[in-house]
Amino acid sequence: MTTPLPERTLLPGPPYGYVRNALRELLVVERAAPEASTTVAPVPVQLTDLADQWVKAAHACVADMGSVTQRARWQTLIAAVETRQSAHAPAGTDMPALCTALRNLLVAMLEYSRLEPPVTGISDYLRGRITDGTSPPGSPLGARRIAAELCLAPVSVVRVKLALADLEVEGLVESTRTGTRVTGAPAGRSERSVQVAQWLRTLIREGAYPPGSALPRVADLARPLVTPTPVISSAVALLDDEGTVRSGLGVRAVVVQDPGFAVAAPLDLTTADLRLTLAGWAGSDTSSQRVRETCRRARSWWHHRIAPAPGRVPHTHRTLTSMAAHLIPAAHAHHQTPQAEATMRRAAVTALAPQPEDPQEQLWRTACLAAAVLELQNLAGDAA
């Protein structure tokens, strides 16, 4: 079942152009004020009249709002203006404070006057997706991603946030450390998404995908991470919700400049082979046939969830590390494009990262390294 998209509606209230003109008038009043107005000073009559006019208009808009959260937000904005313009305003109330409060109210009214789905329409849409199972328990609900899905203007992301707040009041969604999600325990696929998101975060932290760079497309990430595309999509959405990347519908995710954690400088590919050699097995067979056989075996273990004999997975991981040490110089000699270098750095980070304690995650990480080594072999070509 497909939940219909919410319709774009012009809500009751002053037209967009009128509100924009009011903001311009407010700017004129501010510029005309004497310099003394930067401290406590009498409020001009023109500013008081402007505030009176738009507070009345805002009250009329609030009366038509169906969203509890939106109504509360506007009542707070209105109260901030009324407090500073009343005859009983607190001592020290000044013109800049009233201008700031009125500007905040007018900016909210300007967004409200746009031809976009109303907050109640967005909450109905999200409620429908939760009810029909499109957004199952535990699935992330990032405001920016939903806004992109609905083709909203960036300024109207606030409507999605208000809709999510309404759903949180209803108990349908909950706020977590990593963002908003549908209430309920996540399914197994979501647990895998969290695991993949954690690994992508590690690749970003270690410089494989530095700030400002774009992650590969979901389909292009699914192959090297030996993971189905829906899980990759969900993992990228988790990173988007927590602010590590910025993504949109049909747009590659880009790592933000400040992901919220320290990021290492990109690995120097001219010396990476030395570190990999030290971490691998001395004297490993790095012939093309041996590389393919080792990679096939490691990927097969993960694909069939086979539990190899104790010690086999770490041994294979170190063998693949030696193969990466052999292949990266040859691959780098032929390819210096950003995409190729990102592939080489991802392989090196995968080989050098500390192995997880969980056996299944060890198996998956080794399969990821095997996929990366095969990519290196293709880049190196005959030089391998």
Which helix (H) or strand (E) segment holds residue 318: the answer is helix 312-334
SS3 state at 248: strand
pLDDT at 34: 64
pLDDT at 28: 92
108, 74 in Cβ contact below 8 A?
A: yes
DSSP β-bridge partners for residue 248: 251
pLDDT at 190: 63
pLDDT at 103: 95
Domains of the chain as residue ranges with CATH: 16-112 (no CATH), 119-182 (1.10.10.10), 188-255 (1.10.10.10), 272-383 (no CATH)
* Backbone φ/ψ region at 185: left (φ over 0), alpha (ψ -120 to 50), beta: beta
Phi, psi dihedrals of residue 250, rounded to the nearest 5°: 75, 10
Q: How far apart (Å, rounded) are the C-alpha atoms in residues 235 and 111?
A: 31
DSSP letter at 28?
A: H
Paired tokens of 177: 């450390």
Q: What is the pLDDT along the chain (384 residues), one digit of tens a residue?
A: 456 778 887 778 899 999 999 999 999 988 887 664 444 556 788 898 999 999 999 999 999 898 999 999 999 999 999 988 765 455 445 788 899 999 999 999 999 999 999 999 999 999 988 887 778 887 889 899 899 889 999 999 999 999 999 999 999 999 877 788 888 755 544 678 889 999 999 999 999 999 999 999 998 999 999 998 888 988 998 898 888 999 876 788 999 999 989 999 999 998 888 899 998 888 889 999 999 999 999 999 998 878 888 899 999 999 999 999 999 999 999 889 999 999 999 999 999 999 999 898 999 999 999 999 999 999 998 655
pLDDT at 35: 60
What residues contact 351, with CB distance under 8 A and at least 6 apart? 276, 279, 280, 317, 320, 321, 324, 369, 372
Furthest-apart CA pair in the chain: how many Å?
Answer: 87
pTM: 0.55
DSSP β-bridge partners for residue 176: 179
